[in-house]
Copies of this chain bind each other. A is one copy, B any other.
Amino acid sequence: MLNPVIRKLENFTKLSDDDKLALDQAARQVRVYGSREDIISEGDRPEAVNLLLEGYACRYKQLEDGRRQIMAYFVPGDMCDINVFILRQMDHSIATLSPATVAQIPHDTILDLIAQHPRITQALWWSTLVDEATLREWVVNVGQRSAYERMAHLLCELFFRLRAVGLTNGNSCILPVTQSELGDTLGLSTVHVNRTLQDLRRDRLLELKGKHLSILDLNALQEAALFNPNYLHLEHEGEALNANNGMRA
């Protein structure tokens, strides 16, 4: 099994064999989770970086009165919290959505990787920038789009991201989320999620049953969602940086 983080980072830059080996070795301490377990909770002090190897997870925040907002989905190859270890405590939680395998990379190992592998540093930086850009797009999504557009946009995004790590099969993929979780993601009630999915099905854009998503018409779905994949920066942008030597830091 190819370490999915390698596949992901190579969307941005070409890694050397040495880089890849280092990544593999960093990800050797593994923990297995069941479905819907917290990997790290709000208020915890972050102890290690969690790299998702298999399964799905999400970042969420809960209000005092129980309302919950999911703010990110994680797919294999994603580091859930690389950027928080300077902070004293988590201001949100991370939980699995399915059974999952997670590598726990100690902070020191991350720092060593950064110190010794400039390509990895660059690619990790790229990856956090993409995470941020994705979050910005989510603000646009919940702020401006209708329920129908929102749902279309979310499913477009997930499909593109899963495809980038080789987890699609033609125009379908696994998506182990309930309608209630989709609601917590999009700021909609489960009832409305249900009706919105029916509308998308009626328009022959997609099917989502059980844990299986099939895109019936990707172009039409993108149009319906006003989806512009720019923000995922999947176009191997690092190649240019490689040529001109990139960052010095």
Whether the Cβ atoms of A69 and B187 lie closer than 8 Å is no
Q: How far is the CA of A144 from the CA of B64 in the complex (A)?
A: 12
Interface 0/1 of A89-119, CB less than 8 Å to B: 0011000000000000000000100110000
Q: How far is the CA of A132 from the CA of B237 in the complex (A)?
A: 23
Contacts of A138 in B (CB 8 A): 139
We find that the number of chain A residues with CB closer than 8 angstroms to chain B is: 50
Given that A126-B86, A135-B132, A247-B111 are contacting pairs, would A63 and B143 also be in contact in the complex, using a CB cutoff of 8 Å?
no
Interface centre among A65, A69, A86, A144 (most CB of B within 10 A): A86
Q: How far is the CA of A132 from the CA of B81 in the complex (A)?
A: 12
Q: How far is the CB of A247 from chain B (nearest CB, A)?
A: 7
Q: How far is the CA of A144 from the CA of B111 in the complex (A)?
A: 36
A71 on the interface (CB 8 Å rule)? yes
Q: How far is the CB of A187 from chain B (nearest CB, A)?
A: 3
Q: How far is the CA of A132 from the CA of B143 in the complex (A)?
A: 17
A186 on the interface (CB 8 Å rule)? yes
Given that A88-B237, A91-B231 are contacting pairs, would A132 and B61 also be in contact in the complex, using a CB cutoff of 8 Å?
no
Contacts of A246 in B (CB 8 A): 86
Whether the Cβ atoms of A135 and B129 lie closer than 8 Å is no
A11 on the interface (CB 8 Å rule)? no
Contacts of A163 in B (CB 8 A): none
Contacts of A136 in B (CB 8 A): 59, 61, 71, 91-92, 135
Q: How far is the CA of A98 from the CA of B137 in the complex (A)?
A: 25
Q: How far is the CA of A185 from the CA of B144 in the complex (A)?
A: 9
Contacts of A122 in B (CB 8 A): 86
Contacts of A233 in B (CB 8 A): 87-88, 91
A240 on the interface (CB 8 Å rule)? yes
A-B complex: 5 closest residue pairs judged by Cβ atoms: A143-B187, A69-B140, A67-B144, A69-B143, A91-B231
Query: What are 9 A-B pairs with beta-carbon distances under 8 A?
Result: A68-B144, A83-B128, A86-B129, A91-B136, A91-B230, A91-B231, A111-B249, A143-B185, A143-B187
